[in-house]
Amino acid sequence: MSERRVILSGSTFEELIGYARAVVDGDRVYVSGTTGFDYATMTISDDVLAQAEQCLRNIGAALDEAGCGFADVVRVRYLLPDRDDFERCWPVLRRYFGAVRPAATMMVCGLADPRMRIEIEVDARRRGSPG
């Protein structure tokens, strides 16, 4: 039976909605859709680039706690309410994923809070794990 554990970031959303920032299931790591909120202060920038950076810092913290990093990401999903914001984010996204080249999808959709301008979700596989 594979290990299963949850990783919590301290976001109030996790408690209010009933989810975890990430789930580790054996060698797989599933990071929930992550927005640009700074969870320590529960504040969010108005700037999509600042939000993208904060999303990736939040994701990086979850991956680190799971025992892996951005190099282990195999799938990324980008969710944005405004398709015009996506291209502006490319340089930020390329810094984290350019060498990794995970499978990727971008979707235009509404997000839970109108202040949110990007949400990012990743799946990773921990190196050195069997399977």
Q: What residue spans define the domains of the chain? A: 4-125
Query: What pLDDT is stored for residue 130 in this prediction?
Result: 47
Query: What pLDDT is stored for residue 42 in this prediction?
Result: 87
Question: DSSP alpha helices (H): ranges in 67-117?
Answer: 84-97
Query: What pLDDT is stored for residue 128 in this prediction?
Result: 65
pTM of structure: 0.93
Query: What pLDDT is stored for residue 1 in this prediction?
Result: 60
Q: Which pairing describes strands 28-35 and 37-38: parallel, antiparallel, or unpaired?
A: unpaired
3-state secondary structure of 9: coil
Structural fold of domain 4-125: 60s Ribosomal Protein L30; Chain: A; (3.30.1330)
Query: What pLDDT is stored for residue 78 in this prediction?
Result: 98
Cα(43)–Cα(114) distance, integer angstroms: 13
User: CB within 8 A of 114, min separation 6: which ones?
Assistant: none
Cα(56)–Cα(118) distance, integer angstroms: 11
Report the chain (131 residues): mean pLDDT per 10 consecutive residues.
Answer: 86 88 97 94 96 97 97 98 98 97 98 96 83 44
Cα(120)–Cα(95) distance, integer angstroms: 15
